[in-house]
Amino acid sequence: MPHRPAQRIGPFALTRTLAWLRLCAIAGQSVAVLVCAWWMQLDIPLLPLLLGIGLLAVFSVFAAWRLRLPWPMSEWETIGHIAADTLVLGYLLYFTGGASNPFITLLLVPIALSAAALSVRAILAVAALAGVAYLILLAWHVPLPMPMHGEDGAHGGFSLHVVGMGVNFVISALLLGFFINRLAHALRVQQLEVQRVRERALRDEGILAIATQAAGAAHELNTPLSTMRTLLPELRREHAGDVTLAEDLALLEGQVDRCRTILREMVAFGKAQLSQEPERLSVDQFIHGCLERFQLLRPEAELGLELDQPTALTVLRTPPGLRHALLNLLNNAADASASCDSNAVMLQVTREAGWLQLCVSDRGPGFDDAADAALLGYSQKQTGLGLGLALAEATAERLNGELTAGNTDQGAKVCLRLPLAVIAEP
């Protein structure tokens, strides 16, 4: 995805708009021809006109089929669709008065739509196509028979032309207003998507920089940890008589082993990320594995779990980052509860409408307001790195999911929602 803002909507959006416009044209042209031939009793070549409308209907079916194909739509292919529409419109106008037909201004509609979606070169090509069609119809056409009114029929012909101009104005206004509004809406949506992708790319670059620093730190920490792991047992043996010091040294030895375990897990997690091979686990196995890891990190936490049997049996293709995202949410919840002298953390796992939902609740102060709840990358904690929610949100977006946050009666609640179509076994 390019990082510069898009300047054009694109050929595909225009071609799709032309497909809908073509259906309106087929209906309007059919009604106009039948009204002129049967109600107004004009002597127009009915069979050639219906043949032209039929050809446009056949091309409309082809265009709809083409839009369903996965191939990218080029500008010149879109110009080809516009050329087909212009050719059929020119064919119909040839048998109905040519340039004197008030509906000749419909040749401007493709130019207006192209100006909102294509490059300058393509717009010039469409304008040249419409100009050539107009010049040909100015020189060669079948005169439109006018109804007789009065002695020479001139007044009747002028009245019919004025009525046609009025109908043409209404049609042009409706078409241009409706379809250009659709193209403008598509442009706004595209600009918002580009902005969101740019923001996510900037955030991911920051996370990648931190991850690079963490990898270097993990590599450098391995040597001093190994040294401490070697010296601590010797110190314990030398000071075996000092019970208090021996207990402190035993605690330090346990913390060193814990640091080494964390570093090994970081290396294993990095290898898993590079291989992109997901683990195949049931929801029950995945959740209990995360909770065991969390209890080792936070033994003081009072963790509650709500997991129904059908959800527990769902088999997941667990991506490497999902476990760490859940652990980050649990750690944040434990910190929030601890700030209010509580150790309670609740995890609710549910499955609904094709989504797996992991909701973590705490007994903390909650978010200050709805704006803070929406800023998931922002941390209110005074300690820590402030990356837990940002990493969890990045994992959710990578898996086409979402991370939502809000307040409850007892604290805060953060939910990680993931589509089962992405993370579950078929």
Q: What is the architecture, at CATH level 2, of domain 278-423?
A: 2-Layer Sandwich (3.30)
For residue 374, the model assigns a pLDDT of: 42
Question: Which pLDDT band, with edges at 50, 70 and 90, does 15 fall under?
Answer: confident
Q: Would you put residue 97 in left (φ > 0), alpha (ψ -120 to 50) or beta?
A: left
Question: Which pLDDT band, with edges at 50, 70 and 90, does 377 fall under?
Answer: very low
For residue 210, the model assigns a pLDDT of: 59
Answer yes or no: is pLDDT of 65 > 50.
Answer: yes
Higher pLDDT, 17 or 140: 140
Mean of pLDDT over the chain: 78
Higher pLDDT, 205 or 420: 420
Question: Which pLDDT band, with edges at 50, 70 and 90, does 3 fall under?
Answer: very low
- Mean per-residue pLDDT, 154-175: 64
Answer yes or no: is pLDDT of 275 > 60.
Answer: no
Higher pLDDT, 7 or 423: 423
- Mean per-residue pLDDT, 345-352: 90
Crossing angle for the helix pair 11-34 and 46-67, to the nearest 10 degrees? 160
What residues does each domain of the chain span?
11-199, 278-423
pLDDT tens for residues 49-62? 899 999 999 999 99
Contact (Cβ atoms closer than 8 angstroms) between residue 149 and residue 155: yes
For residue 55, the model assigns a pLDDT of: 92
Answer yes or no: is pLDDT of 372 > 70.
Answer: no
For residue 271, the model assigns a pLDDT of: 59
Task: Name the least confident of 36-40, 317-321, 407-411.
Answer: 317-321
Question: Which pLDDT band, with edges at 50, 70 and 90, does 259 fall under?
Answer: confident
Question: Which pLDDT band, with edges at 50, 70 and 90, does 136 fall under?
Answer: very high
Question: Which pLDDT band, with edges at 50, 70 and 90, does 2 fall under?
Answer: very low
- Mean per-residue pLDDT, 265-281: 63
Answer yes or no: is pLDDT of 200 > 60.
Answer: yes
Higher pLDDT, 279 or 87: 87
b/e per residue 344-380 (b: at least 16 CB within 10 A): bbbbbbbbeeeebbbbbbbbbebbeeeeebeebbebb
pLDDT tens for residues 91-110? 998 988 888 887 788 888 88
